[in-house]
Amino acid sequence: MSQDGALETLLHEDRVFRPLPQMVIEANANPQTLDNARRQAAEDPLAYWEEAAKELEWFKKWDKVLDESDAPFYKWFTGAKCNIVHNALDRHIKTGNKNKLAIIWEGEAGDSRKMTYFELYRAVNKFANALRSLGVQKGDRVMLYMPPLPETVIAMLATAKVGAIHTMVFAGFSAKAMRDRISDAQPKVIITADGFYRNGRAVHLKSLVDESLMGPDCDSVETVVVVHRANVQVEMQEARDLWYEELVRAESSESPTESMDSEDMLFLLYSSGTTGKPKGIVHTHGGYQVGINRTLNWVFDIKPTDIFWCTADAGWITGHSYVVYGPLIAGTTTVIFEGHPLYPQADRVWDLIAKYGVTVLYTAPTLVRMLMRFGTQYPKKHDLSSLRILGSVGEPINPEAWVWMYKNIGRSECPLVDTWWQTETGSIMISPLPVSVLKPGSCTKPLPAIEADVVDEKGNPVPPGKGGLLIIRKPWPSMVRTLFKDPERYKKTYWEKIPGVYLAGDMARKDEDGYIWIQGRSDDVMNIAGHRLGSAELESALVAHKAVAEAAAIGIPDKIKGEVAKAFVTLREGFDASDDMVKELKIHIRNELGPVAIVKTIEFRDKLPKTRSGKIMRRVLKAEELGQDVGDISTLED
């Protein structure tokens, strides 16, 4: 989205929405709790986090809450022993949650599976034993290339249970993207499915794993475990490939949970950065669980009777934190849907809410805008009265979409919490609680102990109303620990541009009330339908095509997806700029990066604007495209 454009629409937004009195009376954290927590955290943030950590079970208590001796490589709850799976699963078996539904899953065709905590516990134990039998040990990487299935949750938990590290690759990524991640993460095992259903079709997955394993640097992979789902033809390679169902059949349904150091790695999740190489974001067992537990209980006000539906795919951080670990730690029921939200028609989301009595719906602006197009005819056909809280994440939500959702889905009663956070932050950072005063389009204020601010390039706070860089001044437990195999890049990207503070990479402004309005990324990262895609990734995919000499990619505003990519391409000698070439390049991009990389237009140019040092000036292309002032072009080549 254009930052200026965003600023303009948002500046005119002055509507305010207040919670119903009943919400405030019953809330896990009411305005008083929040005020007290803010005050306490301002004086002693570590005491605040220590209290939050005490809501969970630890095998051994920490010696120290925060170890800053090697900053910015902060360590949390050092000396403690724990395992996130103990809190997400094991401990529920001894409580009233034992026979409660952990997962409600629905396939695209309408088939459904439900699992209690006890059933999930047993399934995880069986698979944990199977992983051990495959030689998976503490610290090994296990890659998941999985559609939304209960087995996806089982595989994540089983991996963590044995002390291994899961790294999930979104099923919409290409074989090539997976290969890059395999060569970086060096997993011992890959877990996948034969395929899954999306938009009425069976999508193949296993064949993409086969393709990616043909590349170099993939020797680490000893076993590929395949879950039956779509009955599509797969080739099983002997000695390497095993069916999940056969593998777990004879395993015992008890399995010990590995005792981990608080700072042991839990997962690795790749996210787009400003270079072509995705960043391997590292999260750990101890601090991560503290962040998601607190935010789920406060921001989504989880109650024993809730049915929680976060529409994200488990392959993204939102899925890790708020489809899998958060809801399970909270002991609530998490809803997982396999298919496309408009399949077979545009009321699928409303149908699911009504069918399962969903009480909390956490979704993305791009989906809201997509559903809005169909008006209110579909939601009106379904009983949505179970809903009590709505949430948004992934990109700025435009006030129109916010108000539409609030009125037509939330009956002007359900608070819509706009939650800002990132793969790097692990859990929600800036967000209202359901009891807060809401302004559509603003994620309101930082949660307690999160010292977020808007500053200029030197790190000085900017006055209200003025745009600047979003930073966080103090570390927090669920923060990224480092970038896998690249600690230097971690320091440089987040902690050195403005020394000593965490630089989020977003532009924002604060209003007179201290409310924060996110304007979009400040770097060359696009946000397409809530998914991050680096300009550099798209460009390197393009130049990998034989016809392309140079490429520049920018994000341009889109009514539904927030942003889509436009690519400017110069061709090599002997290739013609034609419609066929556009088609060919679009297919090429899809093969390289997968369907997440949505390139709307490809424009051919004789040359691209560059600085004298040879850097492509995407900013100039973007300004031209949007009919804006191109700004300072003194460094332009000619």
- CA distance linking residue 300 with residue 47, whole number of Å: 23
Residue 237 CB coordination number (10 Å): 10
- CA distance linking residue 204 with residue 52, whole number of Å: 43
| Count of residues near ligand 6R9 by CB under 6 A | 22
Which residue has 């197009």 as its token pair? 373
- CA distance linking residue 389 with residue 351, whole number of Å: 17
User: Which lies closer to ligand 6R9 via its Cβ, residue 170 or residue 568?
Assistant: 170
Q: Concatenated DSSP letters for 548-574? A: EEEEEEEEEEETTTEEEEEEEEEEPTT
- Choose one: 139-147, 226-234, 413-421, 587-595; the region binding ligand 6R9 (CB under 6 A): 413-421
Task: Report the residue from 318, 332, 333, 482 that binds ligand 6R9 according to the rule CB under 6 A.
Answer: 318
User: Which lies closer to ligand 6R9 via its Cβ, residue 284 or residue 527?
Assistant: 527
Task: Report the residue from 129, 159, 311, 423 that binds ligand 6R9 according to the rule CB under 6 A.
Answer: 423
**Smallest gap from residue 276 Cβ to ligand 6R9 (A):** 18
Structure tokens that stand for 101 in this block: 């539904």
Q: Helices 535-543 and 579-593: crossing angle, nearest 10°?
A: 120
Task: Report the residue from 83, 129, 159, 271 that binds ligand 6R9 according to the rule CB under 6 A.
Answer: 271
Structure tokens that stand for 4 in this block: 């200026």
User: Which lies closer to ligand 6R9 via its Cβ, residue 288 or residue 316?
Assistant: 316
Q: Is 420 in the site for ligand 6R9 (CB under 6 A)?
A: yes
**Smallest gap from residue 538 Cβ to ligand 6R9 (A):** 16
Q: Is 362 in the site for ligand 6R9 (CB under 6 A)?
A: no
356 contacts: CB under 8 Å, gap ≥ 6 = 104, 307, 309, 335
Task: Report the residue from 195, 327, 394, 609 that binds ligand 6R9 according to the rule CB under 6 A.
Answer: 394
- Which parts of 21-150 are beta strand (E)? 64-67, 75-78, 81-82, 101-106, 112-116, 141-145
**Smallest gap from residue 628 Cβ to ligand 6R9 (A):** 20
Q: Is 396 in the site for ligand 6R9 (CB under 6 A)?
A: yes
Q: Is 532 in the site for ligand 6R9 (CB under 6 A)?
A: yes
- CA distance linking residue 114 with residue 103, whole number of Å: 6
Task: Report the residue from 336, 443, 503, 529 that binds ligand 6R9 according to the rule CB under 6 A.
Answer: 443
Contact (Cβ atoms closer than 8 angstroms) between residue 130 and residue 155:
no
- Choose one: 116-124, 311-319, 485-493, 625-633; the region binding ligand 6R9 (CB under 6 A): 311-319
**Smallest gap from residue 402 Cβ to ligand 6R9 (A):** 11
The type of residue at 46 is L
User: Which lies closer to ligand 6R9 via its Cβ, residue 82 or residue 282?
Assistant: 282
- Nearest CA among 295, 264, 254 for reference residue 83: 264
**Smallest gap from residue 228 Cβ to ligand 6R9 (A):** 30
**Smallest gap from residue 419 Cβ to ligand 6R9 (A):** 5
- CA distance linking residue 424 with residue 68, whole number of Å: 18
Q: Is 524 in the site for ligand 6R9 (CB under 6 A)?
A: no
User: Which lies closer to ligand 6R9 via its Cβ, residue 258 or residue 424?
Assistant: 424
Using CA of residue 58, residue 60, residue 64, residue 70, what is the dihedral sign?
negative
User: Which lies closer to ligand 6R9 via its Cβ, residue 49 or residue 362?
Assistant: 362
- Nearest CA among 351, 335, 353 for reference residue 343: 351
Task: Report the residue from 105, 421, 476, 515 that binds ligand 6R9 according to the rule CB under 6 A.
Answer: 421
- Choose one: 58-66, 143-151, 351-359, 393-401; the region binding ligand 6R9 (CB under 6 A): 393-401
Query: Residue 575, class by beta-carbon neighbours within 10 Å (0-12 exposed, 13-18 middle, 19+ buried)?
Result: middle
Which residue has 């102990």 as its token pair? 449
Q: Is 518 in the site for ligand 6R9 (CB under 6 A)?
A: yes
Structure tokens that stand for 195 in this block: 């395929």
Q: Is 279 in the site for ligand 6R9 (CB under 6 A)?
A: no
Q: Is 506 in the site for ligand 6R9 (CB under 6 A)?
A: yes
**Smallest gap from residue 498 Cβ to ligand 6R9 (A):** 16
CA-to-CA separations, 11 to 152, 337, 419, 519, in angstroms, rounded: 42, 36, 19, 11
- Choose one: 57-65, 212-220, 221-229, 499-507; the region binding ligand 6R9 (CB under 6 A): 499-507
Using CA of residue 544, residue 546, residue 551, residue 556, what is the dihedral sign?
negative
The type of residue at 226 is V
Contact (Cβ atoms closer than 8 angstroms) between residue 491 and residue 74:
no
Q: Is 442 in the site for ligand 6R9 (CB under 6 A)?
A: no
User: Which lies closer to ligand 6R9 via its Cβ, residue 13 or residue 506?
Assistant: 506
Q: Is 313 in the site for ligand 6R9 (CB under 6 A)?
A: no
Cα pseudo-dihedral 579, 585, 586, 587, rounded to 10 = 110
- Choose one: 239-247, 348-356, 412-420, 478-486; the region binding ligand 6R9 (CB under 6 A): 412-420
Q: Is 270 in the site for ligand 6R9 (CB under 6 A)?
A: no
Q: Is 521 in the site for ligand 6R9 (CB under 6 A)?
A: yes
User: Which lies closer to ligand 6R9 via its Cβ, residue 257 or residue 295?
Assistant: 295
CA-to-CA separations, 395 to 280, 342, 462, in angstroms, rounded: 21, 21, 22
Task: Report the residue from 366, 527, 541, 608 that binds ligand 6R9 according to the rule CB under 6 A.
Answer: 527
Q: Is 482 in the site for ligand 6R9 (CB under 6 A)?
A: no
Q: Is 594 in the site for ligand 6R9 (CB under 6 A)?
A: no
Residues that bind ligand 6R9 (CB under 6 A): 271, 316-318, 393-396, 418-423, 443, 504-506, 518, 521, 527, 532
